[in-house]
């Protein structure tokens, strides 16, 4: 059995890898490695912070969703969790609430909780793999339509909302980033502390019961935490697909499925994956920019099919 020492080893390795990608994203630009000017460096720090935070949060939520539902296809995006959060934020903007402080991430978290609850309710008691994904997709489509409806009434924010729906790491308001990342960190720590419960839940309803885990209570708590984390991530970066699907699977290849090791490894994979995707989004057509969600979906959709076929 692995223990504290292994976790320390994994954490050290992950921290080094994460820091390397973070630094690279600061000094690597369209002209190659260089020392950027003060303003550009600050801009890149903000962007890397957004990318790393959002990526890690989505990956942590992905680990929780996959483990609790014992479903390797689960992901904040496919479960409708992200769209729920996005719809909440679109509604807040629609009613003219200013984008600051805790209200945005918290509302997004709440909407994301409600959406996941609805998706699971629609999918039915059995929680079968396909049912959950199908009802997630249906709820996703409904919420995207609802957002477009709201945009149609207020024509002005069309571009912003379109980018929001496809993911955008251009947020620079520190207060918003700090508030959202704090919520995401709190939620992730809660899930990490519950690692062994999540392991038990991964065995399914009946087996988790025989392991002494109150299945209903613990899975509700974990799903709620994962949804709040997703909401926080969406409130700064919009809906970015498939990071929460890919990062846990990549991490599993290295550290196995035990959530105590998987959670930190997946968080770092998610952070790195999103920073790299954003680098591509910024530089493929430089100086034109494409929404980062386009890149992650182009990577993630084939990945999804691969997991699905496996």
- The footprint of another protein (CB under 8 A) covers 1, 3-4, 29, 36-37, 39-40, 42-44, 46, 66-67, 70-72, 155, 159-160, 163, 168, 170-173, 193, 195-196, 199-200, 202-207, 209-215, 252, 256-258, 260, 282, 286-291
Closest separation in Å from C-beta 263 to another protein:
12
Q: Looking at beta carbons only, is 77 or 197 nearer to another protein?
A: 197
Token pair 């207060």 in the structure block, residue = 175
Q: How far is the CB of 114 from another protein (least distance, A)?
A: 26
Q: Which is nearer to another protein, 16 or 174 (CB)?
A: 174
Cα 170 from Cα 186, distance rounded (Å): 23
Smallest distance, Å, CB 227 to another protein? Answer: 20
| Of 24 and 114, CB closest to another protein | 24
DSSP single-letter state for residue 68: H
The token duo for 264 is 């930190």
Indicate the residue among 46 and 91 with the shorter CB distance to another protein: 46
Nearer to another protein, 13 or 72 (CB): 72
Residue 256 CB, nearest approach to another protein (Å): 6
d(CA 189, CA 13): 19
Tokens at 131, concatenated: 């049912």
Please check whether residue 236 is in contact with residue 171, taking contact to mean a CB–CB distance below 8 angstroms. yes
**Residues with Cβ within 8 Å of residue 202, at least 6 apart in sequence:** 67, 68, 70, 208, 257, 259
CB 184, CB 57: distance < 8 Å: yes
In the complex, minimum distance from the CB of residue 196 to another protein, in angstroms, rounded to a whole number: 6
Among residues 46 and 220, whose Cβ is nearest to another protein? 46
The kind and range of the H/E element at 248 are helix 243-255
Q: Length of the chain in residues, anyone? A: 310
Query: Closest approach of Cβ 288 to another protein, in Å?
Result: 5
């Amino acid at each position: 059995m692995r223990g504290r020492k292994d976790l320390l080893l994994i954490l050290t390795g992950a921290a080094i890898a994460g820091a390397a990608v973070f630094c690279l994203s600061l000094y690597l630009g369209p002209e190659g490695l260089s020392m950027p000017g003060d303003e550009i460096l600050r801009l890149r720090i903000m962007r890397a912070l957004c990318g790393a935070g959002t990526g890690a949060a989505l990956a942590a939520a992905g680990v929780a969703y996959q483990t609790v539902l014992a479903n390797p296809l689960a992901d904040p995006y496919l479960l409708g969790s992200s769209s729920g959060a996005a719809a909440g934020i679109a509604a807040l903007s629609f009613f003219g609430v200013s984008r600051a402080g805790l209200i945005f991430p918290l509302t997004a978290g709440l909407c994301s909780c409600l959406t996941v609850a609805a998706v699971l309710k629609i999918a039915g008691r059995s929680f079968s793999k396909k049912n959950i994904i199908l009802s997630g997709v249906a709820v996703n489509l409904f919420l995207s339509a609802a957002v477009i409806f709201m945009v149609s009434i207020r024509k002005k924010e069309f571009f912003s909302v379109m980018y929001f729906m496809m993911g955008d790491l251009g947020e620079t308001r520190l207060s918003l980033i700090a508030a959202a990342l704090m919520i995401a960190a709190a939620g992730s720590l809660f899930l990490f502390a519950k690692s062994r419960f999540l392991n038990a839940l991964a065995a399914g309803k009946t087996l988790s019961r025989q392991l002494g885990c109150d299945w209903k209570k613990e899975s509700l708590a974990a799903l709620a935490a994962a949804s709040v984390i997703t909401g926080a991530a969406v409130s700064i970066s919009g809906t970015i697909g498939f990071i929460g699907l890919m990062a846990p699977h990549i991490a599993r290849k290295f550290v196995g499925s035990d959530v105590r090791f998987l959670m930190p490894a997946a968080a770092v994979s998610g952070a790195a994956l999103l920073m790299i995707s954003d680098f591509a989004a910024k530089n493929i057509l430089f100086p034109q920019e494409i929404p980062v969600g386009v890149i992650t979906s182009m990577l993630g959709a084939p990945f999804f099919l691969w997991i699905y076929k496996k």
